[in-house]
Amino acid sequence: MKDPRIERAMGLCKKLVGCFSYSWRRKRELSEAQKQLCLPDHKLKTECSKRWGSRQAMVRRILEQQAAITHVLSSDRKARHLLPTWQDLEVLEAVDKTLTPLADFTDALSGEQYVSVSSVKPALHLFQSSVLALKEDESDLICTIKSKIVGYLEEKYNDQKTQDLLDIATTLDPRFKMTYVNEDNKTAVQNKLQDEMSKLKTVEESLPITTSSSSSAKKTRKTLGSFFKAAQSNTGPTDPASQQQQSVSMELQSYLFLSNADSEVDPLVWWKAHKEQYPRLSSLARKYLCIPATSSPSERVFSTGGNIVSCRRSALKPQNVDRLVFLAKNL
């Protein structure tokens, strides 16, 4: 957004919003113009530095109410100079066209009631392949904005630890698995998953082994199959670690060979239904898929705390604030 054309257009939008916000007469005239022109009865929005999507919302509202704004300000000598020129309108349309899909993805990734971390890599792939892909019929400004956004996203997620986390989270999502994992990293991701699965204990392994006393046990007659079983056990001892490693590998390969789930399926519901089939992977899924993709959930908690600790309730004890915030976010 650091472009002289965009900075001029954004400054003009803020002045327009302020022009209508501090004058009741212009507000009334804008409402009347909206009725005459059959436009939605919406108020103008301004940009907030703490909210990323507020700039796109401000630009979209200005473009939506452009005819009503022109109708009101064209007869106002003091504010006529605030009318956007055709160059400004082109810049605003370019910004709106570029930022609208990003705002939709941001709202979707900022949720906290569903799995979001596993959708980061698919979303980045979608940005680069279609949403932010350069097109021949687009203006130079749109191409510049898209290129800068793609470069920023690549730099933001370029950290190796972040990439490893996103690869594992995406693999544990039955909707994507290893579709968006780089070919060079697939083996490393599988090895990482197998290492973590080997450290976990299944429900059967964690149950205590119960042995019956020899005195109460009945003497049973040997069957023909018991002789073959004894012969097989005498051929050589089996290594428990090797058996566990084989079981882990089979569980992971069975999951990866399974067809991907529908994109609308809730991953948590899917893992609950397949918990018995993939006990170790389901535990890892609960570990990784609970991570939020953005910091919005934690910021909402801070906002809730700010609403609770107001000027009139500044004497609240810390433990009471914690309880009130917990109740506000969980009831």
Res 212: pLDDT:
47
Distance from chain centroid for Cα 68: 37
Does residue 123 lie in a domain region?
yes
Does residue 215 lie in a domain region?
no
The ranges of the chain with pLDDT < 50 are: 203-204, 207, 209-216
Instruction: Quickly list H helices, 37-139.
Output: 54-64, 66-73, 86-109, 120-126
Q: What's the length of the chain?
A: 331
Same domain, 130 and 46: no
Same domain, 144 and 259: yes
Does residue 154 lie in a domain region?
yes
Residues 6+ apart with CB under 8 A from 13: 47, 58, 59, 62, 92
Does residue 104 lie in a domain region?
yes
Please count the other Cβ atoms lying within 10 Å of the Cβ belonging to residue 146: 22
Same domain, 126 and 267: yes
Specify whether the CB–CB gap between 44 and 65 falls below 8 A: yes
Tens digits of residue pLDDT in 58-73: 999 999 999 999 988 8
Does residue 262 lie in a domain region?
yes
Token digits for 131?
């949403």
Tens digits of residue pLDDT in 127-141: 888 888 888 888 888
Res 227: pLDDT:
57
- Total structural domains in the chain? 3
Same domain, 39 and 104: yes
Same domain, 172 and 35: no
Same domain, 20 and 126: no
Does residue 231 lie in a domain region?
no
Same domain, 163 and 98: no
Burial class (CB in 10 A: 0-12, 13-18, 19+), 61: buried
Same domain, 306 and 247: no
Does residue 208 lie in a domain region?
no
Listed residue (61, 79, 60, 78) closest to 70, CA to CA: 79
Does residue 60 lie in a domain region?
yes
Q: Which residue segment(s) compose the domain that 320 sits in?
A: 295-330
Same domain, 63 and 94: yes
Res 173: pLDDT:
92
Residue 129 host element (H or E): none
Same domain, 27 and 133: no
Same domain, 119 and 93: no
Same domain, 152 and 260: yes
Burial class (CB in 10 A: 0-12, 13-18, 19+), 116: buried
Specify whether the CB–CB gap between 197 and 280 falls below 8 A: yes
Listed residue (273, 275, 327) closest to 301, CA to CA: 327
E-only strand ranges, the chain: none
